[in-house]
Amino acid sequence: MKFIQIILILIINCQFSFGQIYEVGGVFGGTNFIGDVGDTQFINPNESGFGGIIKWNRSPRHSYRLSFISTTITANDAESNDPRRKERGYHFSSNLKEISTGMEFNFFDYNLHEYDVFFTPYIYSGIIYSKYENLFFNGDNLQNSGEYDWSFGIPMVLGVKYRIFDQFILSFEISARYTFSDKIDGSLPYNDNFNYTFGNENNNDWYMFSGFNLTYTFGRQPCYCNIQ
């Protein structure tokens, strides 16, 4: 009986440990804001962002990941195609820090221990924590208050990854971040002064991040998974 239990444990561990390999690296790309101020195009990076990323490849089809991004969010009504926004003339700039964690799913089997596997498309989602500068009205325009607020949100990411060397992977991603806040662009001032609200109060703020991840892979398969 003990022998059968040991065999079952080894089989289960082998299945769950197969392809357990780690990745660590950097993130670089561009951001643009989608809200009540500025351009209305969805993908139009106007500020750079950078950060770091860690992945745990739990199987050839999915991995858990944690990332950090530091960027600036800017928007200017003068760059909008909406004549009403052009006439209004609001603009702002806000430093933003983001922590994201969740699951990445590969469209193809992507076992990093098999070196004939070069690329796969993937999707990623989870939860984000965004910290940004509060805005208030100074005369007829928006200004940073010097204080910070935060919001949770949901990342929606589509990407493709490609092995460029045995232990390096280059990924390209296009992602939308939906936040649970309508305060990033100052349309709902941080002090909740409703005399200065504007825009659509039923739509929360979004921001986009499009860029590259370069990661270094390490780790190995457990030896018992190689038993023929």
> May I ask the CATH class of domain 2-226?
mainly beta
Residue 77: both structure tokens together:
């009504």
Domain boundaries, the chain: 2-226
**Spatial distance between the Cα atoms of 95 and 69, rounded to a whole number of angstroms:** 11
pLDDT computed for residue 199 by the predictor: 67
pLDDT computed for residue 32 by the predictor: 95
**What pTM was computed for the model?**
0.81
Which residue numbers in the chain have pLDDT < 50?
Answer: 3-4, 6-19, 222-228
**Residue corresponding to tokens 């498309």:** 121
Closest CA to 94 of 70, 66, 111: 70
Sign of CA dihedral 176, 204, 33, 30: negative
> Residue 147: left (phi > 0), alpha (psi -120 to 50), or beta?
beta
